[in-house]
Chains A and B, each alone.
Chain A
Amino acid sequence: GENVEQHPSTLSVQEGDSAVIKCTYSDSASNYFPWYKQELGKRPQLIIDIRSNVGEKKDQRIAVTLNKTAKHFSLHITETQPEDSAVYFCAASFLTGTASKLTFGTGTRLQVTL
């Protein structure tokens, strides 16, 4: 089955700096890669996702890149703010019309300091 590795496990950056979180996946059939942000005691919140036919996607301060050959994908957050502090999870899935199992990474705790 699919296995997703995520690094680093913790990341501390100063406000305004950029943060990068990296994931690798094992199943070359995976075609959908979402990122979730989870604040303490709250639900995972979908922040951005990318399909395997796209190499990069941006949404304001957040971007995701995908390298299918290397089976890597990364989350980039620019101009970090204190409210970006949370745990971030990457995930991979082989999407079909009816199936959509997500395999999650182990999470990255991001702390943005003033």
Chain B
Amino acid sequence: DAGVTQSPTHLIKTRGQQVTLRCSPISGHKSVSWYQQVLGQGPQFIFQYYEKEERGRGNFPDRFSARQFPNYSSELNVNALLLGDSALYLCASRREGTGSQYFGPGTRLTVL
């Protein structure tokens, strides 16, 4: 079974640009969550989607948005990038009926 996959692996952008990150959950998992991990800190919750609907939103500005597709894959969009958006962006999927969330390898975003 393939695990959670994310693309791209690394990304370098400049301030003010926009970025789209992609995630494919484990087969059969309908819930996808996005987290931001700044170096030296724990992951911070951004969004959760279940069955294509937003089920939770963390304390992030409206520049952050996401969506989930019919095949349960997901995209995270960040507009008007700031230097402080530089971080590892992690996607996690959860099997229905359990609490277990499994993380993808992440996308390392650097904003210059």
In the complex, A44 has a CB within 8 A of chain B? yes
Query: What chain A residues lie within 8 Å of B51 (beta carbons)?
Result: 98
A92 to chain B, nearest CB (A): 11
Give the interface segment out of A14-22, A62-70, A75-83, A100-108: A100-108
B83 to chain A, nearest CB (A): 22
**How many residues does chain A have at the interface if contact means C-beta atoms less than 8 Å apart?**
26
Residue pair B101, A106 in contact (C-beta under 8 Å) = no
Q: Which of B96, B102, B105 contacts A42 (CB 8 A)?
A: B105
Residue pair A49, B90 in contact (C-beta under 8 Å) = no
A109 to chain B, nearest CB (A): 10
Residue pair A89, B43 in contact (C-beta under 8 Å) = yes
Query: What chain B residues lie within 8 Å of A105 (beta carbons)?
Result: 42
Q: Mark A23-42, 1 if CB is under 8 A from B, else 0.
A: 00000000010101000001
Chain B interface main SS type: strand
Residue pair A44, B55 in contact (C-beta under 8 Å) = no
Q: Mark A41-65, 1 if CB is under 8 A from B, else 0.
A: 0111110010100000000000000
In the complex formed, the residue of A with least CB distance to B102 is A46
In the complex, A93 has a CB within 8 A of chain B? yes
| Highest count of chain B CB atoms <10 Å: which of A6, A100, A105, A106 | A100
Q: Which of A32, A45, A98, A104 contacts B43 (CB 8 A)?
A: A104
- Near A by CB (< 8 A), chain B positions 3-43 give 31, 33, 35, 40-43
Residue pair A43, B42 in contact (C-beta under 8 Å) = no
Residue pair A106, B106 in contact (C-beta under 8 Å) = no
CA–CA, A49 and B94, complex, Å: 13
CA–CA, A101 and B104, complex, Å: 16
In the complex formed, the residue of B with least CB distance to A91 is B42
> Told that A34-B101, A97-B96 touch, could you supply 5 new A-B pairs with CB distance under 8 A?
A42-B105, A44-B90, A49-B99, A99-B55, A100-B48
